[in-house]
Amino acid sequence: MASEPLAPATAPTRAAPSTTLVAASIFGASAVLCVAGYLALSASGPWFGGAPVRYWTAQELIVPRGTAQLGEEGLSVLAPDATGTIVISLNANAALRASAYPVIAWDVLNVSENVEATLLWYSDYKASRISTRALAIEGRRIAPADLAGDRDWIGTISGLALVLRGSFSAPMLVRGVSAKPMTPGQVAADRESEWLTYEPWNGASINTIAGGADAQDLPLPVVLAAIVIVGALLYAALVRWTPGLVGRFRPVVIAVGFLAAWLVLDARWQWNLARQAGSTIEQYAGRNWRERHLAAEDGQLFAFIEDVRAKLPPPVEASPRIFMVADTHYFRDRGAYHLYPYNVYFDPAHDTISPASTLRAGDYLVVYGREALEYDAAREGLRWGANESVAAERLLGGPGAALYRIR
């Protein structure tokens, strides 16, 4: 019997690596590359060793010019001196090696856009001369000053000061000042702190939450987007040149990387939400209706409107017209809300006062947080704008927060 020829032996096919393993490896490598690349570009200090961060709290600061008050949260800067200047300086010798600390960062909140900030220092290299550097204002905060290339930032720095000049419309909070060595570890720790900073609810939270500190050198969404893009390019290159290592191209691998980045952002959002829930419980739990209003952000306005309502006649169908005036739309809106069901008029978009010709006897004018009105108590006259005036009786309060009845 003739035997049939044997079929040629086939090489065993190699199983493609799992999608999860490929995605984890690709995007893990991409994360390492992106982070290492950012640190290589932004960190000027040594990768190993280096000086530690130096930090001085508000308790170690003095205010030789201007008015300030030290509290639990920091140093509240209240008003400048007669020249419109505030000076805040260290209450001790800084003793910094300029070469080891190229960045000085002042931690100041609620800085007005009309304020000019300047850093002052002196060193043993030029002991008789005070050096200066203008500071930028970003997101109502003072941006860190990179002094590595400044020819006067040399030797041992013996003193640091911050000078503020301009229009101080609201108190500023100074929490301290730090000297940074700009090592990779310090830079990475700063970015992590910015990403994980608690962001309480604000007027824009109903639409979006930025996440982290108000001012960030590198927002977390940008980092995650870069990791996904670099990972996708890396995966495409490996599929093209080493298909035996990662298998054929599978779009699901890129989808896994995108989903992982999404979950990281969502995890941070959920963590911020949990902290907000705890803060809300602490602020409102166990309080009655009135106490909750007083504990809210507009608590002072609510208390003022309570006093206003006590001066008004009862709200009936023929209730008098009440005009709500305030510098900011938030206080106009909230003031009108607290005055309902009275017949309230207000401009939600603009800081305006109705012309005197539209006001009539028996109307009421509620003013909150607005200084551009002049009241003559002797003549019982109220003036505003260029030539607007009306006879009025002040029933409550004074400049900035008052109730007037038009006569």
Q: How confident is the model at residue 281 (pLDDT cuts 50, 70, 90)?
A: very high
Question: For residues 323 and 388, is the Cβ–Cβ distance under 8 A?
Answer: no
Query: What are the pLDDT digits (tens) for 383-406?
Result: 887 788 999 999 998 767 899 999
The mean pLDDT value of the chain amounts to: 89
**What is the band of 5 on the pLDDT scale with cuts at 50, 70, 90?**
low
Which stretch, 28-37, 378-387, 390-399, has highest mean pLDDT?
28-37
pLDDT (tens digit per residue) in 198-254: 888 876 777 777 778 777 889 999 999 999 999 999 999 999 999 888 889 999 999
DSSP-based three-state secondary structure for 407: coil
Give the Å distances, CA to CA, from 296 to 155, 241, 293.
Answer: 50, 61, 5
pLDDT tens track for 140-192: 889 999 999 899 999 999 889 999 998 787 789 999 999 999 999 999 999 99
Tokens of 200: 């309480």
- Residues 156-167 pLDDT 10s: 998 899 999 987
Whether the CB-CB separation of 19 and 252 falls below 8 Å is answered with yes
CA pair distance 187, 200, nearest whole angstrom: 25
Quote the tokens at residue 99. 């070469």
**pTM score, whole prediction:** 0.74
Report, as an integer, the average pLDDT of 79-101: 89
Please name the helix (run of DSSP H) or strand (run of DSSP E) that holds residue 345, with its range, or none: strand 343-345
Can you give the pLDDT at residue 59?
Answer: 94
* Distance, C-alpha 231 to centroid of its chain: 31
CA 281 from chain centre, in angstroms, equals: 23
Q: What are the residues whose beta carbons fall under 8 Å from the beta carbon of 294, sequence distance 6 or more?
A: 302, 303
Left, alpha or beta for 100 (phi > 0: left; psi -120 to 50: alpha)?
Answer: alpha
The whole-angstrom separation of Cα 402 and Cα 399 is 7
CB atoms within 10 A of CB 38: 19
State the distance between the two ends of the chain, measured CA to CA, in whole angstroms. 128
Output the six-digit token pair for 110.
Answer: 């609620």
CB within 8 Å of 244: residues ≥ 6 apart: 14
- Asked whether residue 309 carries a pLDDT value surpassing 90, the answer given is yes
Q: Of 242, 215, 212, which Cα lies nearest the Cα of 224?
A: 212
